[in-house]
């Protein structure tokens, strides 16, 4: 019997999917695969597991004793959705649990388990029958993440096997049920793919109770500065339009922080427990804890529709636009402007501004689900994390930059780049849809309809075509899927891509010359790491280097923890992803900090920069020969300090990254203990720095991991050795690309002499092709 609170019961009843519960459960009982399509917010993720649970799945006495598994492409979604479902079912996190790379709440009591698609894929290599599950829900299939695609392919095989085995002996193993869920109807790659499912699975369309959303295109498309454009649009919405949350789509953490800061400056939200100098300035400010008159006043006698139209025109209102240009550049001005604004009768009261991106702490992420303070309007500035995986309640207005930051990857050269590009039409529609969940809404697109029609692709390219695939290829081989070319990929990878992956796996010894997995390959596949990093671990058992190698591969897997000073190198090496930088670091501070900063900005920045350089030097060591050893140094120092936030602040590293590295270290250490006989390792918080001999060994281990990523100074290739005093502009040659590559200015090697040979962790294209994560193979 399921216990749900009255309140939850009422909220559930309103979800569109609950009307289809019976139809869905009938389809599931009659078919082994069922596809469910439903608008974001219709209740798929939170309700489907509960339907199964109530139908007896996961109950040891039932016909479906195995637990219910749900996969998510994003970690945030796996965690927050498991929490939500636990709450709805009044169960604890031992029963409704999650597992992601860095964290898990799973126990022997778990009945419903949320996990990332990566975790599920890994479980498959340990137990190909997935015997502990009775049903697997693959969520967000429309996103076409690499792992989800592979997972669907593999699971189609598991399904057949489970069926055959259960027909042999029903008491031993039961058939498995698969539910594939998508927020769009574009699922033919799964349903019409005969190699995947010989009988096309039934598709259930959840009749979404979507309210109409009016789409407003900009007349013109701002060439670059869509952050300012977004800011202006939000100001207009907030000051002129009736209540309702605003959801803004931006591309990355940097932009989000800038925009949040601007908005908070303009429409300060002051919590009652904090005093602030602006409080005395703002006479008109309504008390926070009473309903805000400013929000309601005047709308009844205004023609709202007219306002909305005017807003849609965007650049018509030139005064407004000009007035707010360069808000950020002159601090004195911004204060005056700020004061004028609050005296302006159009001032609409506080805006409760929340950022949302994946590197944000979990606690901060979860705040978007809580109602905003009385009288304040909610404004969430998000990456495309809010496009389909998280439904933020109460959104009436969507502001869409039309942009997304994406990783591009050239399969033959291995060169990566992060580009900010237009989203697809399908994504734009998804984003717009977020405004119509609670009532009719409006979507303001910061681009013209011409741009939308001519330059937006119909659909987003599946991740498999944008990312290295050696990791999943090895995992497939470890599951004895030998002929990868016969695998039922929803969309197959390019031949080049497959070849490059197999070649790399041969180089590191994971495959033999016939592309069959070796015993080393099997060992490599047991770690939740990229194959090169696992290889480093396996050969790392010399000179007592293992604890260091574990720390190194943990850092490499999580990513460079150092905050970059954006403006130092002039190459504008925007790292994509969700990377942080010094500017952000200053900007995300609390409001009163920002006020202080406005006055001391320049001085502080100067001091910061000096401190920043000192820290970089400190971690690079006396003889800077490797960016990767610099990571090791900071990981060691962090643990030594007890792993506190002060350390992170003082050392210009991201707290969340350091915590993840810490967790991954613990986890890898456990796996090593369990898998490698006779090895005794532990995470020693007081790990001594490596000795000279160990450093030499570590350098070799790193080189072995990046054996194919050797770069040679170009003059040596050309057979005419030169001497150089600086690395600037010195070209290197690699084996994967004919293009010249260069030492990135953020490297510890940048300020020394250019070495003959290096290994690099990755190539990244901005204005040139840069090597990053560099290690000198043999220092002089
Ligand atoms: P779908 O998977 O179809 O996109 P969900 O099941 O994620 O839909 O969401 C259904 C509803 O549950 C949404 O209205 C969403 O806002 C709400 N919801 C999800 N998580 C939470 C939470 N942690 N707190 C409050 N409401 C939530
Ligand atoms: Mg969902």
Bridge partners, 381 (sequence order): 248, 355
Beta strands in 411-538 (DSSP E): 415-422, 441-445
Please tell me the least confidently modeled range out of 79-83, 413-417, 433-437, 471-475: 413-417
Q: How confident is the model at residue 592 (pLDDT cuts 50, 70, 90)?
A: low
- Distance (Å, whole) CA 563 – CA 652: 5
- Between 446 and 336, the more confident residue is 446
Q: Residues 635, 661: contact at Cβ < 8 Å?
A: yes
- 430 Cα to the center of ligand 2, angstroms: 13
Q: Can you give the pLDDT at residue 216? A: 95
- Does residue 145 have its Cβ closer than 6 Å to ligand 1? no
- Does residue 540 have its Cβ closer than 6 Å to ligand 1? no
Q: How confident is the model at residue 277 (pLDDT cuts 50, 70, 90)?
A: very low
- Does residue 12 have its Cβ closer than 6 Å to ligand 1? no
Give the ligand with the smallest distance to the CA of 17: 1
Q: How confident is the model at residue 223 (pLDDT cuts 50, 70, 90)?
A: confident
Q: Can you give the pLDDT at residue 325? A: 23
Can you read off the two tokens belonging to residue 193? 């793919």
- 18 Cα to the center of ligand 1, angstroms: 13
- Does residue 182 have its Cβ closer than 6 Å to ligand 1? no
- 41 Cα to the center of ligand 1, angstroms: 6
Pocket test of ligand 1: the residue of 41, 112, 180 to mutate, having most ligand atoms within 8 Å of its CB, is 41
Can you read off the two tokens belonging to residue 714? 């170009």
- Does residue 184 have its Cβ closer than 6 Å to ligand 1? no
State the Rg of the chain over Cα: 27
pLDDT tens, 57-79? 999 988 899 999 999 998 888 99
- Does residue 80 have its Cβ closer than 6 Å to ligand 1? yes
- Does residue 561 have its Cβ closer than 6 Å to ligand 1? no
Report the alpha-carbon angle 509-513-515, nearest 5: 80
Backbone angles phi, psi at 18, to 5 degrees: -65, -25
Most confident of the following: 306-310, 443-447, 682-686: 443-447
Question: What H or E segment, with its residue span, contains residue 98?
Answer: strand 96-100
- 45 Cα to the center of ligand 2, angstroms: 4
Mean pLDDT over residues 97-123, rounded?
92
- Does residue 365 have its Cβ closer than 6 Å to ligand 1? no
Q: Please give the full DSSP string across 302-362, using - where no structure is assigned.
A: S-HHHHHHHHHH-TT-HHHHHHTTTTTT-HHHHHHHHHHHHHSTT----EEEEEE-TTS-H
Bridge partners, 113 (sequence order): 69, 97
- 389 Cα to the center of ligand 1, angstroms: 9
Comparing CA positions, the residue from 690, 758, 710 lying closest to residue 552 is 690
- Does residue 42 have its Cβ closer than 6 Å to ligand 1? yes
CA distance between the termini of the chain? 72
- Does residue 49 have its Cβ closer than 6 Å to ligand 1? no
Q: What's the mean per-residue pLDDT of the chain?
A: 81
- Between 429 and 575, the more confident residue is 429
Q: Residues 97, 105: contact at Cβ < 8 Å?
A: yes
Ligand 1 atom closest to Cα of residue 388: 4
Q: Residues 539, 550: contact at Cβ < 8 Å?
A: no
Mean pLDDT over residues 376-381, rounded?
94
Give the ligand with the smallest distance to the CA of 49: 1
- Distance (Å, whole) CA 444 – CA 236: 11
Burial class (CB in 10 A: 0-12, 13-18, 19+), 162: buried
């Amino acid at each position: 019997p399921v216990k749900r609170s009255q309140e939850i019961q009422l909220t559930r009843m309103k979800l569109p999917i609950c009307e289809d519960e019976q139809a869905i459960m009938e389809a599931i009982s009659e078919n082994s695969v069922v596809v469910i399509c439903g608008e974001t917010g219709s209740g798929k993720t939170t309700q489907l597991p509960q339907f199964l649970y109530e139908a007896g799945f996961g109950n040891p006495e039932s016909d479906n004793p195995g637990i219910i598994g749900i996969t998510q492409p994003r970690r945030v979604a796996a965690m927050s959705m498991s929490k939500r479902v636990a709450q709805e079912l009044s169960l604890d996190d031992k029963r409704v649990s999650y597992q992601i790379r860095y964290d898990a709440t799973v126990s022997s009591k778990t009945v419903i388990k949320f996990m990332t698609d990566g975790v599920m894929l890994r479980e498959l290599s340990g137990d190909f029958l997935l015997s502990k599950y009775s049903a697997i829900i693959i969520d967000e299939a429309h996103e076409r993440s690499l792992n989800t695609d592979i997972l669907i392919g593999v699971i189609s095989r598991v399904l057949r096997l489970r069926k055959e085995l259960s027909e042999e002996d029903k008491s031993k193993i039961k058939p498995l049920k698969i539910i594939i869920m998508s927020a769009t109807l574009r699922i033919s790659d799964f349903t019409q793919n005969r190699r995947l499912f010989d009988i096309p699975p039934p598709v259930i369309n959840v009749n979404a109770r979507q309210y109409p959303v009016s789409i407003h295109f900009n007349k013109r498309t701002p060439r670059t500065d869509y952050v300012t454009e977004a800011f202006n649009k939000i100001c207009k919405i907030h000051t002129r339009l009736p209540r309702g949350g605003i959801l803004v789509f931006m591309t990355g953490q940097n932009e989000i922080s800038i925009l949040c800061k601007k908005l908070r400056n303009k429409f300060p939200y002051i919590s009652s427990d904090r005093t602030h100098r602006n409080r005395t300035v703002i006479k008109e400010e309504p008390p926070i804890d009473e309903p805000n008159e400013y929000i309601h006043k005047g709308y009844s006698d205004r023609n709202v529709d007219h306002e909305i139209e005017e807003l849609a025109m965007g650049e018509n209102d030139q005064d407004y636009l000009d007035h707010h240009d360069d808000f950020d550049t002159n601090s004195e001005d911004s204060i005056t402007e700020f004061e004028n604004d609050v005296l302006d009768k159009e001032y609409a009261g506080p805006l409760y501004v929340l950022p949302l991106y994946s590197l944000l702490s979990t606690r901060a992420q979860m705040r978007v689900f809580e109602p905003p303070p009385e009288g304040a309007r909610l404004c969430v500035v998000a990456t495309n994390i809010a496009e389909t995986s998280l439904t933020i309640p109460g959104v009436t207005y969507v502001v869409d930059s039309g942009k997304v930051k994406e990783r591009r990857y050239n399969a033959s050269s291995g060169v990566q780049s992060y580009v900010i590009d237009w989203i697809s039409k399908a994504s734009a529609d998804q984003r717009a849809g977020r405004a119509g969940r609670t009532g009719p809404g409006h979507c303001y697109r910061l681009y013209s309809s011409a741009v939308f029609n001519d330059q937006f692709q119909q659909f987003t390219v599946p991740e498999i075509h944008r990312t290295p695939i050696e990791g999943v290829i090895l995992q497939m081989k470890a599951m004895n899927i030998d002929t990868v070319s016969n695998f039922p990929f929803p969309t197959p990878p390019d031949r080049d891509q497959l070849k490059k992956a197999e070649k790399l796996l041969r180089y590191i010894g994971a495959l033999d010359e016939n592309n069959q997995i070796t015993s080393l390959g099997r060992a490599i596949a047991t770690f939740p790491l990229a194959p090169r990093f696992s290889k480093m671990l396996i050969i790392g058992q010399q000179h007592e280097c293992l604890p260091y190698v574990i720390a190194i591969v943990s850092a490499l897997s999580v990513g460079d923890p150092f905050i970059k000073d954006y403006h130092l190198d002039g190459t504008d090496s925007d790292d994509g992803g969700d990377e942080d930088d010094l500017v952000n670091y200053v900007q995300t501070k609390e409001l009163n900090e920002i006020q202080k900063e406005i006055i001391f900005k320049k001085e502080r920045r100067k001091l910061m920069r000096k401190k920043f350089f000192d820290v970089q030097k400190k971690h690079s060591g006396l003889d800077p020969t490797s960016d990767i050893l610099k990571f090791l140094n900071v990981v060691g120092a962090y643990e030594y300090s007890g792993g506190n936030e002060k350390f992170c602040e003082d050392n210009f590293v991201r707290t969340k990254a350091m915590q993840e590295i810490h967790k991954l270290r613990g986890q890898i250490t456990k796996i090593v203990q369990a898998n490698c006989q006779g090895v005794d390792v532990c995470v020693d918080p007081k790990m001594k720095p490596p000795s000279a001999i160990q450093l030499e060994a570590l350098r070799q281990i790193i080189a072995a991991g990046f054996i194919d990523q050797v770069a040679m100074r170009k003059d040596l290739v050309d057979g005419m050795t030169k001497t150089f005093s600086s690395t600037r502009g010195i070209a290197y040659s690699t084996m994967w690309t004919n293009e010249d590559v260069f030492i990135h200015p953020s490297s510890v090697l940048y300020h020394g002499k250019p070495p003959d040979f290096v290994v690099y962790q990755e190539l990244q294209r901005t204005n040139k092709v840069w090597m990053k994560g560099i290690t000198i193979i043999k220092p002089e």
